[in-house]
Amino acid sequence: MDEREERLFEMGLTPIWRARAIASVLEAPPGTSDAPGPKAPSETTVGAATGPQARATIAAAPRATPETTVVAAPREHEIARLDWEPLISSIAGCTACALCRTRRNTVPGVGSTTAGWMFVGEAPGAEEDAQGEPFVGQAGRLLDNMLKAIGLDRAKDVYIANVLKCRPPGNRNPEPGEVAKCSPYLERQLALIKPGLIVALGRFAAMTLLDTDATIASLRGRVHQYRGVPLIVTYHPAYLLRNLPDKAKAWEDLLFARSTFARLQSGATSQT
């Protein structure tokens, strides 16, 4: 039994004929190893599958006809195959974490699905939860103004999304388990859009996409990579509303993003 087969067996996902073969060895009386029936696993295989946990797994294995197997595709693999409409439907009906019990609306994203730019924030706030759209209210208006200042249109040139698609109660920080359940949706959005540049808005988005706990100050002014896509970090608009002096730094970041995008596009054009 290789590592993958052993992992499937422990989760009760082994094909039924295989589970029965192991069960017959575990349950057979002494001296009956040569009795008719499925071929007994090797000593190494039996040793890996013995013990109370293995017996409980076999006992709990779903019954199936000989020609059927137990199949359970991981959730993230299912999401990774979705096109836009079923992806949005999946987000709307998601119950993978407890946030589904407190949300009013899911907030998948907004903008052009063929955009060259993708902006990623943290999670919906109260107004986003009410309207089902990211970055509305004061923070949304500030983001719109930031986009216009560098010649971008919210509806045509960018796609805007959050790491989480549901609002955490009281606008608290997302929890690791919530991020783990929701991240496949963001990854699929990025795969479908194929943006030329990602802009992470705020420390939490940067931490999630770059898998780092570094500060915004240390991440600004450099081009990072997320799965082969260039990524630039700047402040979240909600933070800028509370810390007005840092608007000048955010403007520097946007100019840097614009010049980086232009350089990337120029390089792509020269290669075609």
Measured from the Cβ of residue 195, the count of other Cβ atoms closer than 10 Å reads 22
Q: Which residues of the chain have pLDDT under 50?
A: 4, 7-9, 11, 14, 17, 22-72
Query: At residue 268, what is the residue type?
Result: A
CA nearest 1: which of 66, 54, 53, 61?
Answer: 54
Q: Is 234 helix (H, G, I), strand (E, B) or coil?
A: strand
State residue 5's pLDDT score: 54
Stretch(es) of the chain classified as CATH 3.40.470.10 = 102-271
| Cβ–Cβ under 8 Å, residues 260 and 230 | yes
What pTM did the predictor assign?
Answer: 0.72
What residue spans of the chain are helical by DSSP H?
3-10, 16-27, 43-49, 52-60, 75-79, 84-92, 126-131, 137-149, 176-193, 203-210, 216-219, 237-242, 247-271
State residue 153's pLDDT score: 94
State residue 267's pLDDT score: 79
CATH class in words for 102-271? alpha beta
